[in-house]
Amino acid sequence: MKIPVLYIVIPCYNEEEALPITAARMAELLDEMTRKGLIDEKSRVTLVDDGSRDRTWEVICALNAKDKRFEGVKLAHNAGHMNALWAGMRMVCDSCDALVTIDADLQDDVNAIYGFLEKYREGCDVVYGVRNDRSSDTAFKRSTAQGFYKLMKKLGVEMVYNAADYRLLSRRAVEALLSFGEVNMFLRGMVPLLGFKTAEVYYERGERVAGESKYPLKKMVAFAVEGITSFSNKPIRLVTLLGFVCALLGAAMAVYVIVSLVAGHSVAGWASTIMSIWLLGGLQLIALGMIGEYVGKIYMETKRRPKFILEEYRK
Ligand code: UDP
Ligand code: MG
């Protein structure tokens, strides 16, 4: 097998503090892997600046000027983590044999890439990095993340438990992934849909090297909603089920009302009337909200907007 040209794609959003450390580690890794004959000399690290507001792009340009193995892709605005990854993959797809995506904060152990490459040599097209320990995350992040994986499984979405966006994809896997036309992207759910021969490599997840998490609670919730509604129509079925239950309750109510009427104490129905108004009103609102979620998705898909807008690609 030919020595692969490996591209490491790193999305960066306001990562000026972490980048110098990450870049130094990546340069070391490339040196070592090239020396060991594991990757081709043409291998690169592609840093995708996701519309940062700090000096991230300047840092990337400086790295690129100093060492040609660092490439920079600048997105014109903050397109979000998934879109930044997508942009990076799109830009490097034609130059690489395989690519690894990894966060800019070195929370994921870069040594796992050796494992990824080994699996790649064994013929795997998709290799997931799976964290075998989450002790470095806060208890809150850990429990919400675990709850999310469980919920997704219940909803019938195939996902690799505890695998984040740290993975290796062969060129043909990337090409397949890039052929997905959807605008609402949830890569963790999309990659398992690819098929191909896959493997998992376990690693320990550490702390962020510098800077703060770019995923505040608001973004985490948006991410989870995105994942659920992009992949599952079970919530909408739940609404239908709820509708049936309500209809049944309503029928029972009707019987009760008629019986009360015949018995001659119909005025006494005030409490039950008010209760059903509230109950039904609430349920209808929930149902509308859920339907709205999907209609919103259809709206976004029909627009066929580009996933990212490229400002610059420094090779
Ligand atoms: N990120 C991005 N765009 C965003 C938010 C985050 O490109 O809008 C990048 C960020 O720079 C990092 C990765 O996505 O490389 C994961 O973010 P972070 O490490 O902050 O998330 P956490 O590990 O806290 O879940
Ligand atoms: Mg992180």
pLDDT tens, residue by residue, 122-138: 999 999 999 987 777 78
At 6 the pLDDT is 97
- Quickly state the pLDDT bin for 236 (edges 50, 70, 90): confident
pLDDT for 95 beyond 80: yes
The Cα diameter of the chain in Å comes to 94
Closest alpha carbon to 123 in 158, 160, 159, 172: 172
Pocket of ligand 1 contains residue 81 by CB under 6 Å: yes
| 218/199 Cα distance (integer angstroms) | 32
Can you tell me the mean pLDDT for 220-244? 82
Report whether 33 contacts 117 (CB < 8 A). Answer: yes
Task: Say how many Å lie between the CA of residue 215 and the centre of ligand 1.
Answer: 6
Question: In sequence order, what are the beta bridge partners of 70?
Answer: 45
Mapping DSSP to helix (H, G, I), strand (E, B) and coil, where does residue 128 land?
A: strand
Tell me, what's the pLDDT at 271?
66
- 49 Cα to the center of ligand 1, angstroms: 11
Question: How far, in Å, from the CA of 233 to the mean position of ligand 2?
Answer: 30
Among residues of the chain, what percentage have pLDDT more than 90?
A: 48
Is residue 5's pLDDT more than 70?
A: yes
Give me ligand 1 centre to Cα 220, in Å. Answer: 11
228 pLDDT more than 90 = no
Nearest Cα residue to atom 1 of ligand 1: 81
Cβ of 16 closer than 6 Å to ligand 1, yes or no, is no
Nearest residue by C-alpha to atom 23 in ligand 1: 213
Is the pLDDT confidence value at 67 over 70? yes
Whether the CB-CB separation of 313 and 91 falls below 8 Å is answered with yes
Among 80-89, 209-218, 242-251, the minimum mean pLDDT is found in 242-251
- Output the residue whose Cα is nearest ligand 1's atom 17: 214
Ion ligand 2 nearby residues (CB, 5 A):
103, 105, 107
Per-residue CA distances from 118 to 4, 130, 149, 191 (Å): 11, 15, 28, 20
The answer to whether the beta carbons of residues 201 and 115 sit under 8 Å apart is yes
169 lines ligand 1 (CB under 6 A): no
Of 103, 231, 94, the residue nearest 167 (C-alpha): 103
Q: Is the distance from the beta carbon of residue 113 to the nearest atom of ligand 1 less than 6 Å?
A: no
* 80 CB near ligand 1 (under 6 Å): yes
Average pLDDT of the residues in 299-313: 78
Q: How far apart are CA 199 and CA 232, in angstroms?
A: 25
Ligand 1, atom nearest to 14 Cα: 11
Q: Does residue 311 register a pLDDT over 70?
A: yes
Choose the residue to mutate in 12, 13, 142 for probing ligand 1, maximizing ligand atoms within 8 Å of C-beta.
Answer: 13
Residue of 214, 220, 307 to test ligand 1 pocket, by largest number of atoms within 8 Å of CB: 214
Backbone phi, then psi, for 7, in 5-degree steps?
Answer: -110, 135
Across the range 66-95, mean pLDDT stands at 95
pLDDT at 27 over 70: yes
144 lines ligand 1 (CB under 6 A): no
The per-residue pLDDT for 48 is 97
Which comes out higher in pLDDT, residue 38 or 296? 38
pLDDT at 42: 94
Q: Whole-number mean pLDDT of the chain?
A: 88
